[in-house]
Amino acid sequence: MLYREAGEFKTAYAADAATFPIAFDRWRYYGVLAIAFLVIPLTINDYFASAVLVPFLIWSIVAIGLNILTGYCGQVSLGTGGFMAVGAYAAYKIMTAAPDLNILIVVLLSGGVTAAVGVLFGLPSLRIKGFYLAVATLAAQFFLVWLFNRVPWFYNNSATGQISAPERSMFGFEITGPMASAEAKYLFCLVIVFAMAWLARNLTRGRLGRSWMAIRDMDIAAEIIGVDPLRAKLSAFAVSSFFVGVGGALFFTVYLGAVEVGEAFGINKSFLALFMIIIGGLGSIFGSFAGAAFIVLLPVFLKNVMVGALGWPTDIAAHFEFVILGALIIFFLIVEPHGLAALWRTAKEKLRLWPFPH
Amino acid sequence: MGSMEGPMSETVTADGRTIGGVLMEMRGITLRFGGVTAIKDISFDIREGEIRAIIGPNGAGKSSMLNVINGFYHPQDGEIWVRGKKRRALRPHQIAHQGIARTFQNIALFKGMTTLDNIMTGRFTKMRAPWWQQAVWAGPAEREETANREIVERIIDFLEIQPIRKTPVGRLPYGMQKRVELGRALAAEPKLLLLDEPMAGMNVEEKEDMSRFILDVNDEFGTTIALIEHDMGVVMDLSDRVVVLDYGQKIGDGTPADVRNDQAVIDAYLGVPHD
């Protein structure tokens, strides 16, 4: 009953082009924001924050980043893990070189460094497409991990080859390091996620986003209306890598604290990010969140049900987790190949007409 | 519009439109793919404000000619002169910035985008706001978006496609897709509009609609149009001048009446009569 377009008369194009043109959607969005910013920080417990919410938020940024490249611009990438590693190592090098720098600036600079690296590895996209590009980005993944493993400069010659995040605080609250509280980590990530999702939304609905989608849908037609494929593709690589780099920096500094590159940023992370956007929905910001939630939250949920509620042994539960997750992924892809975002859209369309079927 | 006057001065057509000097001139264009010569030493011109048809049997080199004009192919020989200046070899997106837009024989829309977004994408060359303003969606970027939306809405009104504004174009029927594609080309406010078989596969009503749009575009916006079409009736009705190609060579050039009575054209294109 609440979900209606009727009675909403748009008198300006700006209002018609708003992200949430329907009032109910808008209020729901404000509601989610209020819960995320006000309710959760007061009620959060440490386990829930560190095992569920912080990784969910960080993976959302990574998924948005990959979605910009793959979902909006149509360039398949398997280098996400490698680009996250660039963000992480850039953050480490900046933090150790400039101890006084604010952690927020460190994270954003790391994104900037990753953007530059992303453009470099995006250059082959001007010549190759589809699966072949995926293989080229796979090379980036392996090369970057190898580089961070083999060149001691990147991990400041530490004996273990690991990097660990120094303690940094903002407004008197520890954000990184072992003393950081769950609320501080959560809020820090939340603010960044909120800002970056907003930026991504704006970029994808404007001229730049349209040029990406034009390249994705029909590159020849994009060219004849004036889109330079070089600039469109490389800008997509830059923006996407910026997001992934920020995600990688947060993953290292806030979430893990200490990182061994092959383990934390291996090829499986690239696949994980790709699963997220495929399940969530290509070319959708909401889909990036939905996919990240699905991949991050579901295993935690299943583990709690099987071990906590049913009392199964943990090793059996861990195996069943894979089975169930795999089956669900296949199920979702058969039922709705365009991901959770498309399911969500369909649900909204049905709701709009409810109780009438057409 | 043009500061340079071509060799021919202005003329006024029977229906009162003004046709100006030469907008674009092809001089001795030859295009080869390996051993195959697609276009052989073709010269013709397109005058400002006219509707110029390019006709010919299948494989005559018509589409290749359009591809040369908008930069997909670079001819081995010959020159293209625009308003009295020789054009350098340019990439298609650079040529788009010079005011040439086109539609394709087999529709080339952005299938994942709505009608509105497709036509908005056509405004690409007219929008200027830098990326960082788009990212924060404030000030000039938002104003520019709204201003361009108004122009796009005028095109939507003109083409009578208001109801499908927010429909993804992949879901639209064929005739509508053709119309949206015309809209996207018009959104660029082109000086020269290239239409590659705008009426292929349409029924009579859709053809009438499309013919009306083409005439209106030419009449109201003064857009110069070069079109490829197989429907002879349409070509004869719409165009001011016709160039006829066959096997990559030009075999006729003139008004529809001239071309219709040209024996070479009749033989090549309409077939040699048996008796």
By the 8 A CB rule, do B29 and B54 touch? no
ipTM: 0.85
Are residue B252 and residue B267 in the same domain, yes or no? yes
Q: Last residue of some domain: B155, B187, B219?
A: B187
Query: In this structure, are B171 and B233 located in the same domain?
Result: no
Q: Which residues of B touch A119 (CB under 8 A)?
A: none
How many C-beta neighbours within 10 Å does residue B275 have? 3
CB contact under 8 Å between B104 and A210, yes or no, is: no
Assess if residue B233 is contained within a domain.
yes
Nearest C-alpha neighbor of A315 from the set A306, A327, A328: A306
Q: Identify any residues that bridge with B29 across adjacent strands, giving them in sequence order.
A: B42
Question: Which residues form the domain of B198?
Answer: 1-99+190-275
Residues B208 and B239 in one domain: yes
Q: Answer yes or no: do B140 and B90 share one domain.
A: no
> Could you report the per-residue pLDDT of B163-184, keeping only the tens digit for each?
888 888 988 988 889 999 999 9
Question: Which positions in chain A touch B192 (Cβ < 8 Å)?
Answer: none
**With 80 as the cut, is the pLDDT of residue B273 above it?**
no
Nearest Cα to A255, choosing from A193, A319, A203, A320?
Answer: A193
pLDDT tens digits, A311-336: 788 888 888 888 888 888 888 778 88
B5 pLDDT above the threshold of 50? no
Q: Write the single-letter amino acid at B68.
A: V
Omega before A99 within 30 of 0, i.e. cis: no
Residues of A numbered 196-225 whose beta carbons fall under 8 angstroms of chain B's beta carbons: which are they? 199, 202-203, 205-211, 213-214, 216-218, 220-225
A210 vs B125: CB contact, 8 Å cut-off? Answer: no
pLDDT tens for each residue of A148-162: 888 888 887 787 878
Residue B104 lies in a domain: no
Interatomic CA distance for residues A80 and A88, integer angstroms: 12
Residue in chain A lying closest to B66 (CA):
A224
Cα→Cα distances B118→A352, B86, B187, Å: 25, 32, 10
State pLDDT tens for residues A81-90: 999 999 999 9
CB A141 within 8 A of CB A267: yes
Classified as helix, coil or strand, B224 is strand
Q: Residue B138 falls within a domain, yes or no?
A: yes
Give the pLDDT of residue B2.
39
**Residue B148 lies inside a defined structural domain of this protein:** yes
List CB contacts (< 8 A) between B131 and chain A.
203, 208, 235
Is A75 an interface residue toward B (CB < 8 Å)? no
In this structure, the answer to whether residues B239 and B132 fall within a common structural domain is no
* Contact indicator for A168, A91 with CB cutoff of 8 Å: no
* Close Cβ partners of A71 (under 8 Å, ≥ 6 residues apart): A277, A281, A282, A283, A284, A287, A288
Which has more pLDDT, A114 or A341? A114
Distance CA(A254)–CA(A268), nearest Å, equals 20
Residue ranges per structural domain of chain A: 40-266
Shortest distance, CA B31 to any CA of chain A (angstroms): 20
Q: Which residue of A has its CA nearest to B170?
A: A217
Query: Does any domain span residue B141?
Result: yes
Overall number of domains in chain B: 2
What pLDDT sits at residue A312?
Answer: 81
Shortest CA gap A133–chain B (Å): 21
Q: Does residue B208 sit in the same domain as residue B77?
A: yes
CB B58 within 8 A of CB B249: no
The CATH number linked to B216 is 3.40.50.300
